[in-house]
Each structure stands twice: as C-alpha cells, then as structure tokens.
Amino acid sequence: MNIYQQQITLPAKPRGFHLITREVIRALPEMANIRTGFCQVFIQHTSASLTINENADPTVRQDFEMFFNKIVKERDPDYKHDYEGDDDMPAHLKASMLGCSVMIPIRRGELALGTWQGIYLCEHRDHGGGRSLVITAWGQ
C-alpha cells in the first residue's frame, strides 16, 4: 500500500463556493501511482467547509450561497459567539452542516469523480483568509 500526504494553503477567496479540484490534483501528483484507493481532503478550519457538487454551471454555486444565507441568518442577536465579527457564528454553523472533509475514490491514478462533479471550498466568511487543506491519498 502507498500512502501520500500533502498540506497546502489556498489563497484567500471571497465568500462563496469555489471549485478547487485542480488545486487538489496538482498538490498530490503521487496519486498517479495509485491504481485503486482513496483520497481524503480535509480543511483545517471551522468557518469554511468542503463539499462535492456540480462543476459546470456557476449558477449552482450562486444558488448554494443564496440557500445557506437563507437558512443560517447573520446578525442574529441570539448568537453569543461574535468575537470575530457577525459573520463568524453563521460561518461555523454552515461549516458544520457541510463538513470538514470529502472522500473520493481513486481509480487508475485519478480521482473517480463523476462527469459533472467537482470539489468545492465553501468560504463562509467575508474575509476568511487563506485556507489550509491536508490531502491524503492511499491505495495500491
């Protein structure tokens, strides 16, 4: 079994849903050595998240942002955690809903994503800064 791991920091992105599939693939070229296995992408933050979804139509990413802003209110006076601004607690909630990692099968040295699937960085803060990812691939 081969195991490869890399930590990368993505540059700061504006609030929204951003495709990062290419960055993940570029970060771990050793994945090409794995015939059958898995790749886990983990984000080391509590106010941003990861998900896999439609990679072709940018309106999907806009609709994701609209939906999450509707279901998780900002500037809610009931939030107690507001040390880092009024977008901080809503960002934590959104990140918990979507999750901190994605797992993708590797087939013949490549991510076995579907035709219209891509990996998203979900930035839930107005100014979240760079985001660190740990990318681990293993298999035979």
* Domains detected in the chain: 2-139 (2.60.120.460)
Distance separating alpha carbons of residues 80 and 77, to the nearest angstrom: 8
pTM for the model: 0.96
Instruction: Kindly report the average pLDDT of the chain as a whole number.
Output: 97
Give residue-wise pLDDT tens across range 6-62. Answer: 999 999 999 999 999 999 999 999 999 999 999 999 999 999 999 999 999 999 999
Query: Token match 């579907």: residue?
Result: 114
Tell me if 8 sits within 8 A of 119, measured CB to CB: no
Contacts of residue 60, Cβ cutoff 8 Å, sequence gap at least 6? 17, 53, 54
